[in-house]
Chain A
């Protein structure tokens, strides 16, 4: 196999009794990349991570680290680093002893160990905490000790299982940037498990979105956000307004006319693959911040149900006749509805996203 791929999964599956916790999954992580495994609770993120770490034996398939098949290797011989959700710092050891542990198991002499531990504690900005007990550290500090402990052994791949889940919001955001900066500086290939879409968007080079035991889409954060392939992905990452329609024929290059299933059957242009034909059912998603509203008349008119001020923008909740769910629009300006209480709705063609399927679930 290819030695330049730090980590790959080849058709890995995992079954617990009757439930297939992981459907056949393949994944390749590039050198120095931070890949996020993102998905709702119970979708198989931890299962995947535990298979990579070696705690759980896959039913089929292989795990390769640096091109070497490690599927049969126990966790202590895989040369990985891992940060646990609750840090799992050894309570009977000091900060320094915790960080040194991975070097001790490798039989590194004490003097050399101390030097490496100091350097690593400097990196995570905990220079003078070596002799502190774990109980005397705050949540954010413990998080950094855990990171130092996992990095000091120069692991081939760093695994992070919801590493920031236990922190409060402000700390979380600053740790996201710090963690990312350290990861970039060391150029360490990493996999971060999270069910927080914002965290995945801020921290990773690529996101693998998981749902019900499989990876449904892999791509850069922009890719995933701007071009979700399924309704599930469009709704899991951010908010999406979903319109159903039918294919009405080709428009100009790469675009299709789609007739929306709404009272006066408006036709919109949506980019889509050339392979479409007939009058197939089409589902279209538009992000709230891409929708434009104006008091003037447009193709679509909606009733304003509510407007909420959210600091940097206004969130409009609109009722579009013919749609069950409300439409959400995020706009920087406050737009006044027409005298009849309605508002015009539209979007530039390039922001309509054609979903390939009805989405998972």
Chain B
């Protein structure tokens, strides 16, 4: 038997350049980000304006508006109120919302199903309506316009954000882990703190983060509770804008945005945002 060996001819294939589709896609992505980020970028830019009005393009550069917002007490005071309310309502929402979510997932009853839907109510009715009715209710309870009322109001909204995310995470965790722990002798409390909590932590973090960001930015609810010690930053910003139109509003907005970014950064550092969004 003979074998004929031939050298295979090498065929050079022409490499295709990027097609029209790819160019269009790149243009679209660029446009998309411009649409998303340009307004924000302009606000940040304007906060460094030397003009006493909000104009764009701006005549010159100055940091005067940052001095102005630090000196203007209502801004600083309401910023503190906003941060306090955001953190405390997230905490209260976690304490109240997590057990509710856990029950709703594992209780295999119709009541749990109804509850899961009703839990969404505070974020599905118009915020104005919710704020208005809470004002009535809390006034009837003699709490009226106060820091506590504001906190309660924000907690009402924090609960659905937190319990819904925890609910989603917890649903994906089979009961086996908890059952395995039970067979190994764990009490209910041990199961909750040593098994369940660590497993739903991503959900708690994500929900609490959402609720903090929502609370920081919430105007319609806070509006009803804006007293001397309980005006949140958005409320003060709105009333400021009704009288003045200088770039200090852009400066305080930039500060608020920075706080949100820092909050995200902290959570990312200790937890990783990719894990949050995966939840």
Interface residues of A (CB under 8 A from B): 53-55, 74-82, 84, 86, 88, 90-92, 101-102, 105-106, 149-150, 153, 159
- For B158-198 the 0/1 string (1 means CB < 8 A from A) is 00000000000000001011011111111100100011001
What are the 4 A-B residue pairs with the smallest beta carbon separation, nearest first? A102-B184, A88-B176, A105-B185, A75-B182
CA distance A46 to B176 in the complex (A): 13
In the complex, 21 of the A-B residue pairs with CB atoms within 8 angstroms, ordered by the A residue number, are A53-B179, A55-B182, A75-B182, A76-B182, A76-B183, A80-B183, A82-B179, A82-B183, A84-B176, A84-B179, A84-B180, A90-B177, A90-B180, A90-B195, A101-B181, A105-B184, A105-B185, A105-B190, A149-B184, A150-B184, A153-B185
CA distance A106 to B177 in the complex (A): 18
Closest-CB distance, A186 to chain B (whole angstroms): 17
CA distance A82 to B183 in the complex (A): 7
Q: Which interface residue of B184, B190, B198 has the most chain A CB atoms within 10 A?
A: B184
Given contacts A88-B174, A92-B198, A92-B199, contact A102 B185 (CB under 8 A): yes
Extra contacts besides A54-B182, A86-B174, A91-B199 (4): CB < 8 Å: A80-B183, A84-B176, A84-B179, A92-B198
Interface residues in B92-118 by Cβ distance below 8 A to A read none
State whether B176 touches A86 (Cβ < 8 A). Answer: yes
Nearest residue in A to B198 (C-beta to C-beta)? A92
Contacts of A82 in B (CB 8 A): 179-180, 183
Contacts of B182 in A (CB 8 A): 54-55, 74-76
CA distance A84 to B175 in the complex (A): 11
State whether A75 touches B199 (Cβ < 8 A). Answer: no
Interface residues in B239-272 by Cβ distance below 8 A to A read none
State whether B174 touches A76 (Cβ < 8 A). Answer: no
CA distance A51 to B179 in the complex (A): 13
State whether A106 touches B198 (Cβ < 8 A). Answer: no
Contacts of B195 in A (CB 8 A): 90
Contacts of B180 in A (CB 8 A): 82, 84, 88, 90, 149
CA distance A53 to B185 in the complex (A): 12
CA distance A179 to B186 in the complex (A): 25
CA distance A79 to B183 in the complex (A): 7
State whether B184 touches A153 (Cβ < 8 A). Answer: yes
State whether B187 touches A75 (Cβ < 8 A). Answer: no
State whether B183 touches A105 (Cβ < 8 A). Answer: no
State whether A55 touches B179 (Cβ < 8 A). Answer: yes
Given contacts A91-B199, A92-B199, contact A105 B179 (CB under 8 A): no
State whether B177 touches A88 (Cβ < 8 A). Answer: yes
Kindly identify which residue among A75, A86, A90, A92 contacts B183, using a CB–CB cutoff of 8 Å. Answer: A75
Contacts of A86 in B (CB 8 A): 174, 176
Closest-CB distance, A107 to chain B (whole angstroms): 9
Contacts of A84 in B (CB 8 A): 176, 179-180
Contacts of B187 in A (CB 8 A): 76, 105
Given contacts A90-B195, A92-B199, contact A76 B186 (CB under 8 A): yes
Contacts of A78 in B (CB 8 A): 183
CA distance A101 to B199 in the complex (A): 16
Contacts of A76 in B (CB 8 A): 182-187
Closest-CB distance, A263 to chain B (whole angstroms): 56
Q: Which interface residue of B179, B181, B183 has the most chain A CB atoms within 10 A?
A: B183
CA distance A81 to B174 in the complex (A): 19
CA distance A54 to B185 in the complex (A): 12
Q: Which interface residue of B185, B187, B194, B195 has the most chain A CB atoms within 10 A?
A: B185
CA distance A16 to B174 in the complex (A): 21
Contacts of A75 in B (CB 8 A): 179, 182-183
Closest-CB distance, A61 to chain B (whole angstroms): 21
CA distance A295 to B88 in the complex (A): 90
Contacts of B190 in A (CB 8 A): 105
CA distance A135 to B233 in the complex (A): 46
CA distance A92 to B196 in the complex (A): 10
Closest-CB distance, A31 to chain B (whole angstroms): 21
Contacts of A55 in B (CB 8 A): 179, 182
CA distance A88 to B187 in the complex (A): 18
- For B123-149 the 0/1 string (1 means CB < 8 A from A) is 000000000000000000000000000
CA distance A102 to B180 in the complex (A): 10
State whether B183 touches A81 (Cβ < 8 A). Answer: yes
Closest-CB distance, A15 to chain B (whole angstroms): 16
State whether B176 touches A101 (Cβ < 8 A). Answer: no
Contacts of A91 in B (CB 8 A): 199
Closest-CB distance, B195 to chain A (whole angstroms): 6
State whether A101 touches B184 (Cβ < 8 A). Answer: yes
Contacts of B198 in A (CB 8 A): 92
Closest-CB distance, A46 to chain B (whole angstroms): 12
Q: Which interface residue of B186, B195, B199 has the most chain A CB atoms within 10 A?
A: B186
CA distance A91 to B182 in the complex (A): 16
CA distance A90 to B182 in the complex (A): 13
Contacts of B183 in A (CB 8 A): 53, 75-76, 78, 80-82, 150, 159
CA distance A101 to B186 in the complex (A): 9
CA distance A101 to B198 in the complex (A): 14
Nearest residue in A to B175 (C-beta to C-beta)? A55
Closest-CB distance, B194 to chain A (whole angstroms): 8
Contacts of B177 in A (CB 8 A): 88, 90
Nearest residue in A to B173 (C-beta to C-beta)? A91
- For B190-223 the 0/1 string (1 means CB < 8 A from A) is 1000110011000000000000000000000000
Kindly identify which residue among B174, B176, B186, B199 contacts A105, using a CB–CB cutoff of 8 Å. Answer: B186
